[in-house]
Amino acid sequence: MSLVLPVVFAVFAAFSNAAATVLQRRAALTVPQSEGFRPGLVLDLLKRPLWLGGIAAVIAAGAGQALALATGPLSLVQPLFVLELPLALLIASLFARRPLPGGLWLAVAAVVAGLAVAMVAAAPDGNRTQVPLDRWVPALAGCAAAVCALAAAGLRRPPGRARAGCLGAATAICYAVTAALMKSAVHVLDERGLGGFLTAWQTYAFALSGIAALLLLEHAMQGGPLIASQPALTLGDASLSLLLGVLLYEEHVRAGWWLVPELAGLALIMTGVLALSRRSPEEEAAGGVAE
């Protein structure tokens, strides 16, 4: 199975999601903050051109993600979305009109190198298209419970890093579940056509999960700094997607001595993410003043 196409589509989707994150974050800061969950927040954001640009980027990312999932394993495609964090910071630095300092460039390089090492060592494989319902039910129930717990914990906290981190992690779970369901729905579309796609439960399940992710993301973006929500979002999405790929789609990753370079790559990724999480480009552009 060729991995070139899913990698290309996944990287495109990661870039589009990164752009969407920055645009939506900037738009979310222009509307009044809410203490609790407020669905009407989206109605306020519809009046912001930046947010609409972010939605266009989300749509482009969704198309790229669907193509990636149709041509490659979930455990390969979704971990590549770790690239969203360095890409989001690079895009944000362009908006701030201030280049990233050398230290952050090293952190970006660590994330990219760590991802390359981990994915080459793991060599995710397998492209099962059918998942029995008795596997979906416990996986979806567990993810739904985790999302509710994280969202409740985040919304109880005042605006800040803890709130953004909890809501970012809840969003990550929704993203991973959306991707897993989307992969199944895309294969239904390929095998049974549009009629089968429109009657498959996976289609409506991934749409519902995607809407939940969108609502949670807006509250995460408004609830605290990007440097708190984005690491939880990208690392959580990648980790859970890898797990769902193995448990649901019976995808395979290398074990044995390959665990050594896999863990080394993971360590590089975490080091880079933690370094990138210390300061945002907006803070650098303001000369170190917090957001």
For residue 55, the one-letter residue type is I
Beta bridge partners of 125: 252
Could you tell me which of 290, 270, 278 has the C-alpha nearest to residue 104?
A: 278
Could you tell me which of 102, 28, 16 has the C-alpha nearest to residue 61?
A: 16
Which residue in this structure is represented by tokens 């981990």? 118
- For residue range 3-50, list pLDDT tens digits in order: 788 999 999 999 998 888 788 777 766 655 554 445 555 666 666 777
pLDDT at 140: 95
Query: What would the two tokens of residue 147 be?
Result: 């999302």
pLDDT at 42: 60
φ, ψ (nearest 5 deg) of residue 252: -120, 140
Is the separation of the CB atoms in 233 and 176 below 8 Å?
no
φ, ψ (nearest 5 deg) of residue 86: -65, -35
Upper half-sphere CA count for residue 193 (Cβ side, 13 Å): 1
Which residue in this structure is represented by tokens 């927040």? 41
For residue 276, the one-letter residue type is L
Residue pLDDT tens, the chain, 291 long: 567 889 999 999 999 988 887 887 777 666 555 544 455 556 666 667 777 888 888 889 989 988 999 888 998 998 998 888 788 888 888 877 777 777 788 988 999 999 999 999 998 887 677 888 999 999 999 999 999 999 999 888 888 888 888 999 999 999 999 999 999 999 898 888 888 899 999 999 999 999 999 888 878 877 777 677 777 887 888 889 988 998 999 898 888 899 999 999 988 988 888 787 665 544 443 333 333
pLDDT at 30: 63
pLDDT at 35: 47
Could you tell me which of 154, 178, 179 has the C-alpha nearest to residue 168?
A: 154
pLDDT at 113: 93
pLDDT at 129: 74
pLDDT at 31: 59
